[in-house]
């Protein structure tokens, strides 16, 4: 299922191949987020042309809209959204936990009110697996408890305990029921524990005992300082199985990705490139720019000369500035495609530098240029 092609000699970076029922994914990889079965402003054909092979969608939101009855009618999400690549679905645990005033967690599951109409719903680990079976995701995540960064030690401990219990129930249920459609579904536990090394070790060791095919690191990028996030990833790097994919959930910025690859992470997702694009923030090899700023009104240079995508070279900064000022939808589309191509190219460059035995040198050069402009 997962084969490491090459390790970096001086860091924990590695490149490999993750085999799914809808294609082979080269790692490290960044997943665009299509929460509601769409990457905002883009079609699946455009995503394919940008050479993305794996996208992320969300179980909680798809359960509410369009609903599992519609997804089952189409024999799963791939057909519904016309996507023949791989799909990873988050369980929705983070979204449910964020509904702090509208949910109640017990050892058995979680009761919550829909953010749409206030209707009551109840998720158990088994129900979450069944919803993802209806979705037909290639990679499904277990139901977990994701406390905020300022949670107490006892809250994190309880989250670890429940997450382990739920992970075992999710895996057992999938093993008993099997996939709904005629292809394999991979299920991944999620390591919790905040920034506590003690709790992260407990969570990781308990979940490793379940012998899953991949593992995710959850509960980060929720407000903790970046240094603590990276320290936690570095600590887990020495505990997590080296022969299985590692997915760092919800992270992050270009520098976060490069620094986390050096710590052995294989998979990433984040709303930053698409959400920020719609707000006029573009990622370039020399750092971020806000295209709505007046200084770009007469800027006839391309968006980023070091980005080899046509979208980044065919339009000037002045033109994109104009589109944002006039609130033309084309502006959001160009910005989104540019940012996603930047992230994808970053992964391509990281992979190639590992193969060429120069990842450490490449990463230092990138971080210096990106962070210092």
Residue 185 CA, chain-centre distance (Å), reads 18
Q: Is the pLDDT of residue 88 over 80?
A: yes
Query: Residue 149 — very low, low, confident or very high, per pLDDT cuts 50/70/90?
Result: confident
| Cα 80 from Cα 86, distance rounded (Å) | 14
Positions marked catalytic: 90, 269
The pLDDT of 248-268, averaged and rounded, is 97
CB 88 within 8 A of CB 136: no
| Cα 337 from Cα 75, distance rounded (Å) | 29
Q: Which of 176, 202, 198, 95 is nearest to 141 (CA)?
A: 95
Q: Count Cβ neighbours within 10 Å for each residue of 58-72 and write b for 16 or more, e otherwise.
A: bbbbbbbebebeebb
Give 114-140 pLDDT, tens digit per residue: 889 999 999 999 999 999 999 999 999
Domains of the chain are 28-269 (3.20.20.105), 277-372 (no CATH)
The pLDDT of 267-273, averaged and rounded, is 98
- pLDDT given at position 334: 97
Give 18-41 pLDDT, tens digit per residue: 999 999 999 999 999 999 999 999
Query: Residue 96 — very low, low, confident or very high, per pLDDT cuts 50/70/90?
Result: confident
């Amino acid at each position: 299922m997962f084969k490491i092609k090459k390790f970096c000699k001086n860091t924990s970076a590695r490149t490999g191949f993750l085999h799914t029922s809808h294609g082979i994914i080269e790692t490290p990889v960044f997943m665009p987020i299509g929460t509601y079965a769409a990457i905002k402003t883009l079609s699946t054909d455009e995503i394919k042309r940008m050479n993305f092979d794996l996208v992320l969608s969300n179980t909680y939101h798809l359960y509410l809209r369009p609903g599992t009855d519609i997804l089952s009618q189409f024999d799963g999400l791939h057909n519904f959204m016309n996507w023949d690549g791989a799909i990873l679905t988050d369980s929705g645990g983070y979204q449910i936990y964020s509904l702090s005033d509208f949910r109640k967690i017990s050892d058995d599951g979680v009761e919550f009110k829909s953010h749409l109409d206030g209707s009551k719903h109840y998720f158990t680990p088994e129900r979450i697996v069944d919803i993802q079976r209806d979705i037909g995701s290639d990679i499904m995540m277990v139901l977990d408890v994701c406390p905020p960064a300022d949670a107490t030690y006892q809250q994190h401990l309880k989250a670890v305990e429940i997450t382990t219990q739920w992970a075992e129930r999710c895996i057992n249920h999938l093993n008993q029921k099997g996939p709904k459609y005629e292809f394999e579904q991979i299920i991944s536990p999620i390591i919790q524990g905040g920034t506590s090394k003690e709790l992260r070790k407990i969570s990781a060791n308990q979940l490793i005992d379940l012998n899953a095919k991949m593992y995710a690191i959850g509960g980060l990028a929720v407000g903790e300082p970046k240094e603590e996030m990276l320290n936690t990833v570095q600590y887990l790097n020495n505990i997590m199985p080296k022969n299985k994919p590692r997915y760092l959930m919800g992270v992050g910025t270009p520098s976060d990705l490069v620094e986390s690859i050096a710590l052995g992470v294989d998979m990433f997702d984040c709303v930053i490139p698409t959400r920020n694009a719609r707000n006029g923030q573009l990622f370039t090899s020399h750092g971020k720019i806000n295209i709505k700023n007046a200084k770009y009104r007469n800027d006839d240079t391309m968006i980023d000369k070091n980005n080899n995508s046509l979208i980044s070279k065919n339009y000037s900064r002045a033109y994109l500035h104009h589109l944002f000022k006039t609130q033309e939808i084309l502006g959001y589309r160009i910005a989104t495609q540019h940012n996603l191509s930047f992230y994808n190219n970053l992964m391509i460059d990281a992979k190639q530098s590992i193969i060429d035995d120069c990842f450490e040198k490449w990463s230092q050069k990138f971080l210096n240029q990106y962070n210092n402009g």
